[in-house]
Amino acid sequence: EYIWIYIFKGFEKYIQGTDISIKYFETHLNEDTVSLAKGYDCVCVFVNDILNKTVVDQLYENGVQMIALRCAGFNNVDVKHAKDKIKVVRVPAYSPYAVAEHTIALLLTSIIAALTIGGKALGKSTAMNKSTFILFKFSQTLSFIYRK
């Protein structure tokens, strides 16, 4: 069996010892790229992929049997049109802890980017390489101390 996955890598550990092969694509699935799915049993997509009637029909004609979404939402898939053609599965829900952790990760990334850009603007290109910062939460305000 073959599975076509867009962008996200990391599924190899789950298919060891099976007859499943995975091919990763950097592009998004849409009307312009759907022909790439020919010969695959399943496509694994995310929120940026567009699976409208045209794409669903082409996937069906190409022999794709399943659309697997790596997200809880499915507004980017014409589910009604796919109903009698291709099985559609999705993540039933996200852990609220996972969403919170991801939010903090994005926040930390933006702080690091700001400090790095600020350091470069001051002529300190290695500002983040030799620095540490500590996060504190005071009531509703998130503050940080940056020190060399």
pLDDT, tens only, 64-115: 999 988 887 888 999 999 999 999 998 877 777 777 887 888 888 887 777 7
Q: How far does CA 135 lie from the centroid of its chain? A: 27
Do residues 94 and 72 make contact, with C-beta atoms less than 8 angstroms apart? yes
Model confidence pLDDT, tens digit, residues 26-77? 888 999 999 999 988 999 888 889 999 999 999 999 999 999 888 878 889 9
Q: Is residue 127's pLDDT more than 50?
A: no
Partnered with residue 6 across adjacent β-strands are 25
Residue 124's identity, in one-letter code, is K
Q: Say which residues have a Cβ less than 8 Å from residue 31's Cβ, sequence separation at least 6.
A: 50, 52, 54, 55, 58
- Environment class of residue 24 by beta-carbon count within 10 Å: exposed (0-12), middle (13-18) or buried (19+)? middle
| pLDDT value for 57 | 97
